[in-house]
Amino acid sequence: MADRSGSAEDRLIARYFRPLARHPGTFEFKDDAAAITPPAGHDLVLKTDGLIEGVHFFPDDPAASVARKALRVNLSDLAAKGATPLGFLLAIALPKGFSEHWLADFARGLGEDADVYRCPLLGGDTDATPGPISISISAFGTLPTGTMVRRAGAKPGDHVFVTGTIGDAALGLQVRRNAAMASQWKLDDVMRDHLVSRYRLPQPRNALAETLRAHASAAMDVSDGLAADLAKLCGVSGVSAEIDIARVPLSPATAHALKTDATLIEPILTGGEDYEILCAVAPSSVAVFEAAAAKAGVPVTDIGRIVTGDSPPGFLDRAGRPLAFARPGYSHF
Amino acid sequence: MADRSGSAEDRLIARYFRPLARHPGTFEFKDDAAAITPPAGHDLVLKTDGLIEGVHFFPDDPAASVARKALRVNLSDLAAKGATPLGFLLAIALPKGFSEHWLADFARGLGEDADVYRCPLLGGDTDATPGPISISISAFGTLPTGTMVRRAGAKPGDHVFVTGTIGDAALGLQVRRNAAMASQWKLDDVMRDHLVSRYRLPQPRNALAETLRAHASAAMDVSDGLAADLAKLCGVSGVSAEIDIARVPLSPATAHALKTDATLIEPILTGGEDYEILCAVAPSSVAVFEAAAAKAGVPVTDIGRIVTGDSPPGFLDRAGRPLAFARPGYSHF
């Protein structure tokens, strides 16, 4: 967050981002870089993920929720890896003629979540772009050395758990794109707002980080869809899985929509942006994992088992038949 | 650098970026995040800086040099702060229909510089964008706890040093924009190529990091122009400076251009993208600083003095008159 004395850029940084310089190692963004002292005996967990206007958010989404989503998608990865947030860097590119009101709202939302998740802004970069608003966040977490929860590590017999509910954000995105979907799915206003808010503002499961470190054999967050992400976890673990579709936890809104249109099961399982945690837990650890999750206030649901083999995970209907997906998960290209 | 099994995105990452996963903490980019163990007794220095096509580089610039520049502008900050490179994260947004040849060349250049500067790629994010190619790098360095070289710290009486030569990149950018400038400035091909290469490929002064930690009272890299950056360093240090323009080190090409057009002194001193180091050194440390820089193979030039006061630094001509700048430095907004 270089200070460009006297320039318009400097003024923007001073006005909107300097109030977020709450970590002493930021030097109030009046230096070229931040300096932090990592806790002894700990590893750093590093992650970068970005949002682009028109790709990851709508131009008329509230700027504060765009900022919070940009941070939260990264916090979700830290949570899945078992890490405690340490701080983040922000790179933001703004079109010429952007609204300062938008930026003020963005910085306010960012600062609120930085406080809530105890993940301070450590520095950044602002640029002008001829393209859409682009936000890139690099987030850092810490955990005792060597304890990062890996994707690789799931073993045959492990129970497969997910947190919260699956599919809300995928349906919320469809409603956001086409408001008529809400009436087509016979949703009341509360249900519709629930789905859209789940798309707009992920609820990262940082409260579960310690429990995952203690009890999960493998974990990741669900960003590209439960089916695709489970396939990745199984792939690097050298295993497969069998999931009971009926046990996949759904919110009342998503369950209601699915009842009106059974084909929605595909976007529910593949649509992504859930930002829930998917993990594998050894049978001997299941009871203590469930108790620890309950204590942390995070709902977890056992949805199936890790099995041997290298075939893609099977999502089984009530008759035990595997579902075939037309489009297994989100890809940008 | 999430692995999206079976997707086109996964294939891109596997083909072009996985060969760069040389740090064991990257888990071959087959996990959600990287994990590194910071050296005990050290601080982390964090910096993010980005490049956008059409803003920071030309669409027909070689992709390998775009990649190297993206990394080097960050390495330059680490150098100025006295830090040793540890690694970096890459976020890259590519327009639909981008050339894989471009990406292959980009990854090759990035991998080469990651090796040269011992700064491995630790993870990343690839996205599709409706806008121009956008590259954001977050770079991390280490140094003994509490020893980051600050911008604040320059004291009246300190000598002001710069490394290398100033103004080449600013003139190189003008030539790159309008090839006729080379003949207008009566440059031969070698001079012209020197200026363009200085714009295209910064030479960060990482070899000087330890010397700066040991002997500089304040330092920063010159990215927004010598005049603006010195003003920032003086501003946060609560001092001013007097610089002898005649002592500012120029390459033969820049000196030649300046001889044909004396007004070029303004872009030379304000154009930016030098990625040289500007620092203040106490009189008692000057001799040992100069000797250490020579040993590190980095040319340094004493260009003036830090003085008391809060006026902007003066750039004095041979008659001792301060130069007035129309546009003191680069700002995106």
Residue B8's pLDDT band, with cuts at 50, 70 and 90, is confident
Q: How far apart are CA B278 and CA B281, in angstroms?
A: 10
On average, the pLDDT of chain B sits at: 95
The pTM for the full model equals: 0.95
Residue from the list B2, B5, B138 with its beta carbon closest to the beta carbon of A235: B5
Mean pLDDT of all residues in chain A?
A: 95
* Residue B236, pLDDT score: 97
Residues of B in contact with A34 (CB under 8 A): 45-47
Both tokens of residue B182? 């080379």
- On the question of pLDDT at A329 being above 80, the answer is no
Find the mean pLDDT for residues A4-13: 73
Residue type, B193: D
Provide the pLDDT for residue A332: 56
Is the predicted pLDDT of residue B2 greater than 60, yes or no? no
Task: Judge whether A323 is closer than 8 Å to chain B, CB to CB.
Answer: no
Optimal mutation site among B1, B3, B5, interface A, most CBs of chain A within 10 A = B5
Q: pLDDT band at residue B4, thresholds of 50, 70 and 90? A: very low
Contact A30 B125 (CB under 8 A): no
Q: How far apart are CA A321 and CA A6, in angstroms?
A: 67
Nearest CB neighbour to A331, from listed B7, B77, B141: B7
Report how many Cβ contacts below 8 Å link chain A to chain B.
272
- Report pLDDT for B332: 56
Quote the pLDDT of residue B184: 97
Q: Which of A7-21, A66-80, A155-169, A281-295 is the least confident region?
A: A7-21
Q: What is the pLDDT of residues B214-261, one digit of tens each?
A: 999 999 999 999 999 999 999 999 999 999 999 999 999 999 999 999
Map residue A274 onto helix, strand or coil. coil
Give the C-alpha separation, A272 to A198, whole Å: 11
Q: How far is it, in rounded angstroms, from Cα A295 to Cα A214?
A: 14
| pLDDT value, residue A281 | 98
Q: Fill in the amino acid letter for B107.
A: A
Sign of CA dihedral B66, B67, B69, B73: positive
User: Contacts of residue B332 in chain A, CB cutoff 8 Å?
Assistant: 8-9, 126-128
- Determine contact, residues A244/A303, Cβ cutoff 8 Å: yes
**Strands across the sheet containing B240-244:** B216-221, B277-281, B159-163, B300-307, B240-244, B314-316
Question: Is residue A161 left, alpha or beta, with left meaning phi > 0 and alpha meaning psi from -120 to 50?
Answer: beta
Contacts of B197 (CB under 8 A, 6+ apart): B172
Write down the pLDDT at residue A38: 94
| A-contacting residues in B 52-111 (Cβ below 8 Å) | 52, 54-56, 77-78, 80-81, 83, 87, 89-91, 93-94, 96
Residues 6+ apart with CB under 8 A from B133: B52, B53, B92, B93, B94, B95, B98
Contact at CB, A223 and B2, closer than 8 angstroms = yes
Please report the pLDDT score of residue A3 as a whole number: 39
Give chain A's length: 333
Q: Which of A6-20, B4-18, B291-305 has the highest mean pLDDT?
A: B291-305
Average pLDDT over residues B283-309: 98
**Distance separating the N- and C-terminal Cα atoms of chain A:** 31
Residue A277 has pLDDT above 50, yes or no: yes
Q: Does the CB of B290 have a partner CB in chain A at under 8 Å?
A: no
Query: Tell me, what's the pLDDT at B11?
Result: 86
Pairing of strands A134-144, B159-163: unpaired
* pLDDT tens digits for range B144-170: 999 999 999 999 999 999 999 999 999
Give per-residue pLDDT as tens, B175-194.
999 999 999 999 999 999 99
**CA-nearest residue of chain B to A26?**
B46
Edge-to-edge strands, sheet with B42-52: A34-36, B42-52, B134-144, B84-95, B121-129
Contact A53, A133 (CB under 8 A): yes
The verdict on a CB contact (< 8 Å) between B129 and A52 is: yes
Is residue A10's pLDDT more than 90?
no
Q: Is the pLDDT of residue A322 over 80?
A: yes
Question: Among A10-14, A289-293, B116-120, where is mean pLDDT lowest?
Answer: A10-14
A residues 150-209 near B, CB within 8 Å?
A: 150-152
User: Inter-chain contact A93–B129, Cβ cutoff 8 Å?
Assistant: no
- How far is B35 from chain A, CA to nearest CA, in Å? 4
Question: Of A47 and A5, which is predicted with more confidence?
Answer: A47
CB distance B226 to B166 below 8 Å: yes
- CB spacing of A124 vs B48 below 8 angstroms: yes
Average the pLDDT over B285-307 and give the result.
98
